[in-house]
Chains A and B, each alone.
Chain A
Amino acid sequence: MANSMIRKSAPNQVGFSAKARQWVTAVFVVVGLVAAFLIFNAVIGGKCDSHCVIGMLNQTLRYAAPVALAAFCGIMCERAAVVNIGIEGMMLMGAMVAYAANLFSFVAMKSAGLDPATAGEVSRVLALVAAIAASGLLALLHAFVSIRFRADQIISGTVINILAIGITGYFYRQFLSQDIPAGPGTFPPFDIPLLAQIPVIGAIFFSGQKPIVYLMLILTVAIHFVLFYTPWGLRTRAVGENPRAADTLGIDVYRVRYINVFVGGLIAGLGGAWFTLEAVDVFNPLMTNGLGFIGLAAMIFGSWAPIGAWVGALIFGLGSTVTTTISIFRPDIPSQLPQMLPYILTMIVLAGFVGRAVPPAADGQPYEKQ
C-alpha cells in the first residue's frame, strides 16, 4: 500500500513539496468555502447572519448523520475487504422496520393500558433495536453470499438493494398503506448537559439534536479507536490488505469478515432508523434517496477512515442544508435545481479525490482458504 502511494504521488511532485501542496489545498478549500458562502448569501438576498450560520451548521450535522453512518458501514466492511454497495438497501430496510415496529409496538402497548408518553418512549427504543437487527440480518445475507459463496461483491450488494426494495415495498403495500393508526412520532430533540453550554461548538454539536445524531458522533470516535488502536482493528486491516498473510498468522479470515460485515449492517440499520425515527414520522419506499451511495462516496473521500468519512458526510450535509435554505428563502427558484446540488457535489468530490484514495489492497476480492 505504502509503495503504491509513493508511486502514485511521484509524478505530481514537480514544483511543490508534499507539505506545501497540502497547505495550498487547504487555502483553496477555505477560499472556496468563503466564496461559496458569499454566493449563497447573495442568492438568498443577504439574509444569513451569524445566528443563521450556526443554525445551518446545526442542521448540517443532522443531515450528515445517515450519510456518515452509511460511510461507517462501508468502512467496517471494506476494511475487511468486502465491498458493500447494499448499504442503501440495508438503510431502507432499517427505515421500514423502525417505522413498523414503532407503530405496532406503540399501539399494542397503548391498548395494554400503558400511558402514551411511556409507551412512546419504549416503542421508539424497541423500534431502534428492531431496525438495527433487521439491517444486520440483511448484512449477514450479503456476507453469506459474498464470503461463503464468493459471489461478485458488487452484484451481491445490488441483490441486497433489490431485495430490500422488494421486501419493504411488499410489506408497505400489504400492511402499512391502509388505515394507519397514529404512531408515537419521532424522537424528541434534547441538549447534552454541560457540553451544550460551550459557545458556538455547543450550539452546533450538542444542542437540539436527536439521539442518532449523538450516537453518530460517538461512533466516529469509537470506530476510529477500534480500527486503529485495538487488536481487532489490526486484524481487520490485515484481512483487508493481505488475507493470505493474515491467514498464515492464524487469523480466521472468514470470521473477521463475517463479524465486520455484520457490525457494518448494524450501523447501517441505525442510519436507516434515522429516516423514520428522527427525520419524519412516515415511511415511503423511496425515502433513502441514494444516501447509502453518497455514504460510499464519503468513505472514499475519507480514504476508508472514519474521521475523514465524517468530514465527507458533513460536506454532503452542508449541501443539503444549503438546498433547503435556498428553497425557503427563494421559492421562485424551481426547487428541483437546488435539489440536484448534493448529488452534483458528491460527484465533484468523488472525481476530485478518488485518484488519490487507495482502497484496502484486497478490497472486493473473495478469499479462498487453501
Chain B
Amino acid sequence: MSSVAEARAPRADWLRVLDLLSMPALAMVLAFVGGALIIWITSGSLITVGEAYGGMINGAFFKTRGFSETLVATTPYIFLGLALALGFKAGLFNIGVEGQFFVGAIGAAWVGSAFSGLPAIIHLPLALGAGALGGALWAMIPGYLKAKTGAHEVINTIMMNYIAFRLTEFVVSGPLRDAHSSAVQTPRVAPNAELWSLYAIPERLGDPLNALGVALVCAFLGWTFATWQTARPSAARRFASASQRRLATLGVGAVVGIVTFLVLPPLTRAWWLLNDQYDRLHIGIFLALVTAVAVWRLLWKTTLGFEMRMVGANPDAAKYAGINSTRNIVVTMALSGALAGVAGTIEVLGVSICRCLPLFFSSGYGFDSIAIALLAQNHPFGIVLGSFVFGAMRNGADLMELNSGVSKYVISLIQGLVLLFVAAPAMVRWLLRLRARAGEEQATITRGWGG
C-alpha cells in the first residue's frame, strides 16, 4: 500500500478507461485459458481446443444470422445485468432475477394474449409494462422482508426463484393454457403486442399509428437528450431563463418527432438493410441500449440514484444523513425486478418461436448476468459490452458443440472462471505476478447476514 502522496498525477481519460478495462479483460483471457485447459484435459487433444473455440467464434459472428443471433442473446443479458448492477450499487444482491424474469414473462404472456384488436401503440407498452410490473412485484416481496425483518435477500430471492418456477409451470399448464394447442403453452400473443423484428420495420411503419408511436418515442428521446445537454453550465448560460430553456428543449423534441413521423416510413420503405425474413433480431436491442443510458442517468444524475449509491456505499452514513433505508431497499428491489421482468417479457414477445410462454421454459440467464454485472464493475455501459461478449459465447456454443463434440456446458464453466477472477482481482495479480496499483483494492460489494 503506497500513501496518497505517492499517488500518480491524474491520467488522461483514455488511459483511465484502459485501466478500467484491463482487469476485466485479463479475467476474460484467463478464463478462456482455463476453459482451454479443461477441454484439453478431458478430450486429450489440443486440436479439439482449437476446433471448439473456432466453432464458438464462427457460430457467434460468421455463420448465417450468427451475428444477429448474438445480438438477440445480448438483449436479455443487458436487462438482467442492469438489474443486478442496480442492486449491487445499493448494496443488495438480487440473485433472484431468474424468478423475476419468469414472472415478467407470465405478465407479458397474459396481457399480450388477453386483448385483441388493440393498436400496437397501446398494446406493446401495456405488455412490456405488465412484465415490468410482474418482475417488480416479485422482487418487492424479498425487498420488503429485508427492510422490515432483516431476512437476507440472497436466500429469499432464491426461494422466490423456485416459487416462480412452480408458478410458471402451474400457470402455463392450468389457467393460461392454450386450449387449441396440443403443446403445453400459453396462447400466442396478439401480433400488435409482439416486439417488431427489425426485418418487419418498414411494414410495421406502414401503419400511421405505429409511425406515430415511434415518432413519440423519438421525440421523448430528443427532448431528454436536449435537456441533458442544455443542463451543462456552459450551455445553460446561453438561455435567458429557465422557461426559455424548457421551451427550446421541447422544440427540439417536437422537431425530432415530426421529422421522424414524416421521413422514417418512406425512407425505410425505399431502403432497408435487412431482407432476411428469418432473422430474429428485434427492436428490444434498442430498448436495451436506451435502458442502459437511463439506468446510468438514474444512478449518477438523480437524487434517487445518489441515495441508492449512498446506501450501498455506507448504510450507516446514509442513515445518519436521513435517507429512508426501508423505502430505498424496496424501491431498489422493485426497479431491479422490473428490469429483470422486462427481460422475460422480451423473451416472450420477441424471441420465442411460438410468441408464447411454453412449459419448461428455462433461460439460465440469471447466473450469467451476475458475472456480467461484476465484470462490468456495475457500470451500465460496461454491462452492454459484457452482455455482448456473453451473448456471443452463448450463441456460439451450439456450433462449438457440433464442430468439436465439446459439451456447451463448458461455456458455463468459462463464465464461472470469469466470475472467479473478477471477484478476486488479487488472485489474477497473484497468478500473473502483477503488482497492485495504489488504491486499486476492491471495495466490498455485498454484506453479511446482519442489517
A interface residue numbers (CB < 8 A to B): 83, 85, 145, 149-156, 158-159, 161-163, 165-167, 169-170, 172-174, 289-290, 293-294, 296-297, 300, 334, 336-337, 339-340, 343-344, 346-347, 350-352, 354-355, 357-359, 363-365
Other-chain contact of A150, B162, B420, B426 (Cβ < 8 Å): B426
| Minimum CB–CB distance for B228 against chain A, Å | 33
Do the beta carbons of A154 and B166 come within 8 Å of each other? Answer: no
Residues of chain B within 8 A (CB-CB) of A152 are: 423, 442, 444-446
| Minimum CB–CB distance for A117 against chain B, Å | 33
Do the beta carbons of B158 and A290 come within 8 Å of each other? Answer: yes
A/B interface sample: 17 pairs, CB < 8 A: A83-B449, A156-B424, A158-B367, A158-B419, A162-B367, A162-B371, A170-B412, A290-B161, A297-B159, A300-B155, A334-B170, A347-B156, A350-B152, A350-B156, A352-B149, A363-B449, A364-B448
Asked if B93 lies at the interface with its beta carbon under 8 angstroms from chain A, I say yes
Residues of chain A within 8 A (CB-CB) of B159 are: 290, 293-294, 297, 343-344, 346-347
Question: Contacts A83-B449, A337-B170 known; A355 to B150 CB distance under 8 Å?
Answer: yes
Do the beta carbons of B151 and A350 come within 8 Å of each other? Answer: yes
Distance, CA A337 to CA B445, complexed state (A): 36
Do the beta carbons of B449 and A161 come within 8 Å of each other? Answer: no
Do the beta carbons of A364 and B416 come within 8 Å of each other? Answer: no
Residues of chain A within 8 A (CB-CB) of B290 are: none
| Minimum CB–CB distance for A300 against chain B, Å | 7
Distance, CA A98 to CA B155, complexed state (A): 26
| Minimum CB–CB distance for B94 against chain A, Å | 12
Question: Contacts A173-B407, A340-B167 known; A154 to B450 CB distance under 8 Å?
Answer: no
Within 8 A of A (CB), among B406-440: 406-417, 419-420, 423-424, 426-427, 430
Asked if B154 lies at the interface with its beta carbon under 8 angstroms from chain A, I say yes
Q: Does more than half of chain A's interface fall in helix, strand or loop, or is it mixed?
A: helix
Do the beta carbons of B412 and A165 come within 8 Å of each other? Answer: yes
| Minimum CB–CB distance for A336 against chain B, Å | 4
Residues of chain A within 8 A (CB-CB) of B340 are: none
Do the beta carbons of B450 and A363 come within 8 Å of each other? Answer: yes
Residues of chain A within 8 A (CB-CB) of B447 are: 364
Do the beta carbons of B419 and A162 come within 8 Å of each other? Answer: yes
Other-chain contact of A334, B163, B174, B412 (Cβ < 8 Å): B174
| Minimum CB–CB distance for B146 against chain A, Å | 9
Asked if B42 lies at the interface with its beta carbon under 8 angstroms from chain A, I say yes
Do the beta carbons of B426 and A151 come within 8 Å of each other? Answer: yes
0/1 string, B362-382, CB within 8 A of A gives 1: 000001001100100000000
Question: Contacts A151-B424, A170-B409, A293-B159 known; A336 to B170 CB distance under 8 Å?
Answer: yes
Other-chain contact of A165, B156, B367, B410 (Cβ < 8 Å): B367
In the complex, which residue of chain A has the Cβ closest to the Cβ of B410?
A170
Most buried by B among A159, A340, A344: A159
Do the beta carbons of A293 and B158 come within 8 Å of each other? Answer: yes
Do the beta carbons of A163 and B417 come within 8 Å of each other? Answer: yes
Other-chain contact of A166, B148, B173, B409, B430 (Cβ < 8 Å): B409
Residues of chain B within 8 A (CB-CB) of A337 are: 166, 170
Other-chain contact of B424, A149, A167, A294 (Cβ < 8 Å): A149
Within 8 A of A (CB), among B163-189: 163, 166-167, 169-170, 173-174
Do the beta carbons of A154 and B154 come within 8 Å of each other? Answer: yes
Do the beta carbons of B449 and A336 come within 8 Å of each other? Answer: no
Q: A150-B424, A158-B419, A162-B416 are in contact. List 18 more A-B contacts (CB 8 A).
A: A85-B154, A158-B95, A162-B367, A163-B413, A163-B420, A166-B414, A167-B413, A170-B407, A170-B413, A172-B409, A174-B407, A174-B409, A300-B152, A336-B166, A339-B166, A343-B162, A346-B159, A350-B145
In the complex, which residue of chain B has the Cβ closest to the Cβ of A286?
B362
Distance, CA A355 to CA B147, complexed state (A): 11
In the complex, which residue of chain B has the Cβ closest to the Cβ of A361?
B450
Distance, CA A153 to CA B367, complexed state (A): 16
Do the beta carbons of A354 and B150 come within 8 Å of each other? Answer: yes
| Minimum CB–CB distance for A253 against chain B, Å | 17
Most buried by B among A150, A294, A354: A354
Distance, CA A350 to CA B145, complexed state (A): 9
Do the beta carbons of A347 and B413 come within 8 Å of each other? Answer: no
In the complex, which residue of chain A has the Cβ closest to the Cβ of B175?
A334
Residues of chain B within 8 A (CB-CB) of A173 are: 407-409
Do the beta carbons of A169 and B409 come within 8 Å of each other? Answer: yes
Residues of chain A within 8 A (CB-CB) of B430 are: 149
